[in-house]
Amino acid sequence: MFRFLRYFLTGIEEYEKLITRNPIFLERVEGVGIIRGEEAINRGLSGPKLRASEISWDLRKVDQCECYNEFDWEVQWQKEGDSLARYLVRMSEMRESIKIIQQTLEGIPGDPMKIWKFISKKPSPNFELSKQGLQRRNRFPS
């Protein structure tokens, strides 16, 4: 798994060299499709699209969702609100995801490949359901 993460990180670095600094790409996405923070909220945007619109808000940090508060990671956001900002948020989130996965694997006692029972879905300690209501949180790729 660590080998895959190194490989994936190398891929991100290669994409950044080929795409992120490419003048043709930048010309096509910089300043295009700008959505400011208030408009993003009014339109119901969430996740990376919201964070690319000058809103540094991530449910995993705010609600201490699952065990994310046990790891060292930062909310990735941009203030510009354009297509480039949305792309940059996605790229930086891939790096942060690698950090979270590495910390998770380092926290597993023994060999992570042999202790598959340790890696199971545990209920969130912060989630409580009232007797009168039903609450559901959905995560969709944006």
Question: What pTM was estimated for this model as a whole?
Answer: 0.75
| Mean pLDDT, the chain, whole residue set | 85
User: DSSP letters along the chain, please?
Assistant: -HHHHHHHHHHHHHHIIIIIT-HHHHHHHTTSS---HHHHHHTT--HHHHHTTT----HHHHS--TTGGGS-------SS-SHHHHHHHHHHHHHHHHHHHHHHHHTSSS-TTT-TTTS-----TT----SS----------
Contact in structure between 94 and 12 (CB atoms under 8 Å): yes
Answer yes or no: is 74 within a domain. Answer: yes
Answer yes or no: is 99 within a domain. Answer: yes
Structural domains in the chain (count): 1
Cα–Cα distance for residue pair 21/24, rounded to 1 Å: 9
Answer yes or no: is 119 within a domain. Answer: no
pLDDT digits (tens, 9 = 90+) for 74-91: 999 999 999 999 999 999
Contact in structure between 32 and 86 (CB atoms under 8 Å): no
Answer yes or no: is 52 within a domain. Answer: yes
pLDDT digits (tens, 9 = 90+) for 101-132: 999 888 877 765 665 555 555 566 666 666 66
Answer yes or no: is 43 within a domain. Answer: yes
Answer yes or no: is 69 within a domain. Answer: yes
Answer yes or no: is 142 within a domain. Answer: no
Within 10 A of 48 (CB to CB), how many other CB atoms are there?
Answer: 22
Band of residue 137 on the pLDDT scale cut at 50, 70, 90: low
> Which residue, among 63, 60, 53, has the nearest Cα to 75 in the 3D structure?
60
Contact in structure between 121 and 115 (CB atoms under 8 Å): no
